[in-house]
Chains A and B, each alone.
Chain A
């Protein structure tokens, strides 16, 4: 089925560990983005990409890295996990940026840092 696929669905990390959250889409969308969702705070933009080879920071980029080597994939790397990064992470894609089209979201990765 076409859409946005996120892996893993659940992850527990120890403080200081690193990991990569995977995101892949098969809709040939140029625009991809990562959000984190915390209770009562809606979704906050971490990083986004308007196309392969192009990334930019969102509202809360500290502690996260991204790269976009292909149109399909947009992994999010946690460099040294901290308890404050405990959250649900969503990847989203769109045909174009600028909100001209609706965004398609993945089902999320629930991350706990202990």
Chain B
């Protein structure tokens, strides 16, 4: 069974807009990671947030973590066509478990 569940399943926005994806999980975690997957490729690690952190930034990415609600969000600001991909959250108890992902399409 999957630990993380992303929401929405699919998101379509215009270039320059912000994209927000959410992730909910079920059990206690050590940390939470976000990955991007371009079509037909492997996953690329974007950002890791530890269970004692509430917010983390990396370039145009902003991740928040609310352990009381067992949820996380990934914000991509000023989106670009190249951000078109699937985005997955992954959580660790003692194994990295992935959600089903959010498909992001950025239209130019």
Contacts and interface: CB of A to CB of B under 8 A. Distances in A.
Contacts of B60: none
Chain A interface bracket (under 10, 10 to 19, 20 to 34, 35 or more): 20 to 34
B42 A99 contact: no
Interface stretch (B64-72, B75-83, B92-100): B92-100
Interface in A24-42: 33, 35, 40-42
A97 interface: yes
B37 to A, nearest CB: 9
Contacts of A104: 45
Interface in B49-79: none
B33 A99 contact: yes
A105 B44 contact: yes
Interface of B: 1-2, 4, 30-31, 33, 35, 40-45, 48, 88, 90-92, 94-101
